[in-house]
Structure 1
């Protein structure tokens, strides 16, 4: 997206107004107390996402000096606290780590998530919407998790680096996973430009990315970051197999399934590396992080579950799961389903 997104309420409007006022320090940011708004809501999640993008690829027309502006960081903290508190509330009770990992490894025979739906009964317009949602994460792939690397040391850091190396193509730049995802989007007639569809992506999809960035940016949450990343990698392989088959059924060419086909084998290996080389090694040196790792797993399940419920609720009602339908798919939806 070559422009800033539209605000969705007073919080995101305040962030956008500040960032477009001039270089860092040119305008004073009135920092309010923690916002008394829904931390899962559109306005809250977009405001937080905009703050986090300053640590990533930046925002169009925004001076990079805003990244570490103290008043903006204070405002961001006011957004993070209620979001993290809401995640903690929904994650309770957190299972012990061993039980949480065993649950992740047990693929349910009667799964009902988005990959199951797309494989069994999904339409092409729903697959396109799914790719738009996931583009907020996959066009940056493991960038949020890289914040973990300087926060871990010893064997856990080395093994985590091995996993990250694969995410960026294992020495082959053209095989970097975010580029494979971009090729998949193009195969489905979508624009692969970074943030191109941000205005269409609703809060449940933003919350998925915001949570992993929140964990990655805070050293105090490094255990949760490891648990979250382990959840992504452990559950990825079977889900990727279903998605590759679903997209092929819905008319994908070779580029339209390559991203998920790549993850079937790669993430099966990553699952072993993360469990034994990262989690076990980290607990051996920092046993106090075990509960935080378990929380990271539970937190990932919370945001992923909310995202899945949003998609399936909308799709089963014949409605778009985006904030408004993709232009090419509008004619496929009745006017009262938009």
Structure 2
């Protein structure tokens, strides 16, 4: 993957630095809201991606460049402030699984999955999948950063979930590979990171919140809560995505990514809420607030993403940038 084009001074500074070009100091100024700031979110996505697969035209050790790390820290400050202000929730004395369930059930975001099931055109479904590819083509990777930080029952639970995400040892069953099949049905480019260059700020933010939690040991409980929320809100939407894909002409194989999640995540949500988060909070009682925080961040960004797509389709406007 090549470094994407810059979208402003922040991403421009980082791209120039990683490409080995001279860089002048740049002040971190953000556009509000932070989750929609394409320049900041792209810069964060690039900085995080250095710890995944990196870029062919960037220095191989760029992830350890102290100036890059310091710059990423400055970028994260307004992002964390927004998340803390808008997603922090007060824990109770109830078991963490019950608190997570209450958080999920209280979420009343727009019904993107219902729209895709009944009303979306083929072009709209294509835009939805292209946007989601920014994360889905590395599905499970951010949460796998939590494995070496856990022990006992929590570690075993996370490994159990991740094993399914990676196909249980069968490459063709990996969820990222199933998603590629859906992309090819829609005539999309299934290369890793291809749509980053045209993705919206909120699309990048969906991926960045996972990477924020993955990169910092301090945010391990939030990473687990984020995963739990994903699993607990997956079954019904994916059933509707599958129905929408079938309505638009997808074969069983082309819709397999969605149907696979209907089956797998019905089990995963129990493992994530009880065995993963329940075990972790049992061992780390003070972490309950951060577990809920991670879950709330997941729900909030999903809601903003849904609002963005539905609004852009009503305008009508495209949810991907030109090119």
For structure 2, list consecutive stretches of 5 or more residues without a partner in the other structure: none
After superposition, the Cα gap between the structure-2 partners of 1:177 and 1:282, relative to the gap in structure 1 and judged at 3 Å, is: same
Write the distance in 2 (CA, Å) between the matches of 1:105 and 1:267.
15
Aligned residues of 2:20 and 2:59 also touching (Cα < 8 A): no
Match of 2:47 in 1: 51
Partner secondary structure for residue 318 of structure 2:
coil
Shift in Å, 1:31:
5.6
> 2:271 maps to which residue?
273
TM-score calculated relative to the size of structure 1: 0.89
Tell me the TM-score normalized by structure 2: 0.93
Distance 2:114 2:279 in 1: 34
Identify the residue that residue 16 of structure 1 maps to in structure 2. Answer: 15
1:144-183 equivalences in 2 (<5 Å): 144-183=142-181
Match of 1:68 in 2: 64
Q: Deviations over 1:121-140 (max 9, x none)?
A: 11110000000010011101
C-alpha contact (below 8 Å) 2:97/2:274 kept by paired residues: no
Residue equivalent to 2:2: 3
| Equivalent-residue separation in structure 1 for 2:140 and 2:176 (angstroms) | 9
- Which residue of structure 2 aligns with residue 243 of structure 1? 241
Superposition CA RMSD, Å: 2.0
> Separation in 2 of the partners of 1:31 and 1:277?
47
Distance 1:42 1:36 in 2: 10
Query: Which deviates more, 112-121 or 164-173?
Result: 112-121
Q: Which residue of 2 aligns with 1:304?
A: 302
Deviation at 1:3, TM superposition (A): 2.9
Give the match for residue 81 of structure 2.
85
Q: How far 1:32 sits from its partner (Å)?
A: 4.9
Stretches (4+) displaced over 6 A: none
How many equivalent residue pairs?
A: 318
How far does residue 277 in structure 1 lie from its aligned partner after superposition? 0.8
Counterpart for residue 120 of structure 2: 122
Task: Tell me by how many angstroms 1:60 deviates.
Answer: 2.2
**Correspondence for 2:321:** 323
Q: CA deviation at 1:197?
A: 1.5
Query: How far apart, CA to CA, are the structure 2 residues paired with 1:111 and 1:261?
Result: 22
Separation in structure 2 between the aligned mates of residue 317 and residue 36 of structure 1, nearest angstrom: 26
* Cα distance between partner residues in 2 of 1:127 and 1:316: 14
Matches of 2:115 and 2:54, distance apart in 1: 35
Q: CA deviation at 1:276?
A: 1.3
The 8 Å contact of residues 97 and 273 in structure 2, kept in 1 or not, is answered as no
Instruction: State whether residues 144 and 216 of structure 1, in contact with CA within 8 Å, keep that contact through their aligned partners in structure 2.
Output: yes
Query: 2:157, 2:271 within 8 Å by CA — same for their partners in 1?
Result: yes
Q: State yes or no: 1:42 paired with 2:58.
A: no
Distance 1:322 1:100 in 2: 36
Change (3 A) 1:10 1:33: closer
Q: Relative contact order, CA 8 A, sep 6+: which one is greater? A: 2
CA distance in 2, matches of 1:193, 1:36: 30
TM-fit CA distance, 1:107: 9.1
User: Any unmatched runs of 5+ in structure 1?
Assistant: 327-338
Q: Decide which moves more: 196-205 or 35-44.
A: 35-44
1:168-203 residue CA offsets vs partner (Å, 9 max, x unmatched) = 001211111100001110011111011112111111
Q: Taking structure 1 as reference, are residues 37 and 122 closer, same or farther at Cα in structure 2, changes over 3 Å only?
A: closer
